[in-house]
């Protein structure tokens, strides 16, 4: 998603009166606006993806805290919906057979053979996918392949 698409999504949420979507998209827009103002540069698609990931992480942490504190169900439902909305805007993550094939390719390219090389392989996977892969599944698969 790029910055102009985000602005279009905000307009659509306003027209449909989707308060939950509008709230979280405005929060995302505000964070991106801070980048424009503070760093005096245009927002890139990578900035949007990075901010989406950061906002998802923050919202999930708030959700976990809300569940543990036993807050009202409405707040918990709203936070759950916001996480789902934000995750819908992320690029599709590499997983399953595609991830296994990519891991095999990276292992061949890097020549990694021991668990000491795991960080280097994960770094190469991150670079190859832009960070859009199932990290837990990749770590599990790598653990099985490396001795």
Give the pLDDT confidence of 125-146 residue by residue, as tens digits: 988 888 888 788 888 888 888 8
Taking a C-beta distance cutoff of 8 angstroms, is the pair 114, 52 a contact?
A: no
Arithmetic mean of pLDDT, 35-42? 92
In terms of CATH, what superfamily is 3-89? Uncharacterised protein YqeY/AIM41, N-terminal domain (1.10.1510.10)
**59-118 pLDDT, tens per residue?**
999 999 888 887 788 988 999 999 999 989 888 888 788 888 898 898 888 888 888 888
Class of domain 96-145: mainly alpha
What pLDDT is stored for residue 71 in this prediction?
Answer: 73
Lowest mean pLDDT among 19-23, 47-51, 92-96: 92-96
Tell which residue, 100, 111, 85, has the closest CA to residue 133.
100
Give the model's pLDDT for residue 117: 86
- Provide CB contacts within 8 A for 135, sequence distance 6+: 122
How do the domains of the chain map onto residue ranges? 3-89, 96-145
Cα distance between the two ends of the chain: 39
Q: What is the pLDDT of residue 93?
A: 80
């Amino acid at each position: 998603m790029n910055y102009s698409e985000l602005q279009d999504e905000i307009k659509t949420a306003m027209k449909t009166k989707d308060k939950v979507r509008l709230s979280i998209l405005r929060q995302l827009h505000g964070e991106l606006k801070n980048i424009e103002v503070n760093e005096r540069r245009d927002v890139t698609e990578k900035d949007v993806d990075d901010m989406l990931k950061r906002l998802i992480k923050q919202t999930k942490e708030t959700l976990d805290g809300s569940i543990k504190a036993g807050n009202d169900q409405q707040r918990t439902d709203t936070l759950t919906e916001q996480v789902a909305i934000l995750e819908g805007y992320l690029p599709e993550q590499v997983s399953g057979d595609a991830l296994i094939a990519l891991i095999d390719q990276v292992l061949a390219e890097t020549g990694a053979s021991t668990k000491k090389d795991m960080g280097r392989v994960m770094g190469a996977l991150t670079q190859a996918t832009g960070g859009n892969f199932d990290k837990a599944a990749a770590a599990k698969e790598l653990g099985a392949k490396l001795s």
